[in-house]
Amino acid sequence: MAVSNTSKNKEAAYKFLKFILVDNKEVYKSYLKADGLLSSTKDPVTYPMGPVQTQFVNNLKGLKLVDEITKLPGENALPTGMEDFTQKSLQLILAGKPIAGELDTWDDEYKKLAAANTDK
């Protein structure tokens, strides 16, 4: 949950989220439990989970979080258009195109888009 930078009522929205997420952990716990969600607060809110959810959470222990490649900022960002290209390519694979042949196009497309983005 977040407050949009363009919100007309930023302060009120922030206070509302603080009310739900920090000041009333039981309300937040009810929200999480209703949909089987995991807490995203600095101090996690927990509740008894079913066996599948418990195993899922246990499998996360010890893993190092890494940024999603399509969301990297600055010089590490994908060139404009690459995410759209890969999404279309994945759709073609799901529709039956040979995987190896489709993935072979990714490097060339990346180089082409990177060069086009550098020229701007």
The answer to whether residues 113 and 82 touch, using CB atoms and an 8 Å cutoff, is yes
Once rounded to an integer, what is the mean pLDDT over residues 35-41? 89
Angle between helices 99-118 and 82-94 (to 10 degrees): 170
78 phi/psi in degrees, rounded to 5: -65, 150
Q: What is the pLDDT of residues 56-100, one digit of tens each?
A: 889 989 998 877 887 788 888 889 999 999 999 999 999 999 999
Once rounded to an integer, what is the mean pLDDT over residues 37-43? 88
Q: What are the distances in angstroms from CA 114 to CA 73, 118, 119?
A: 15, 6, 9
- Say what the pLDDT of residue 69 is: 81
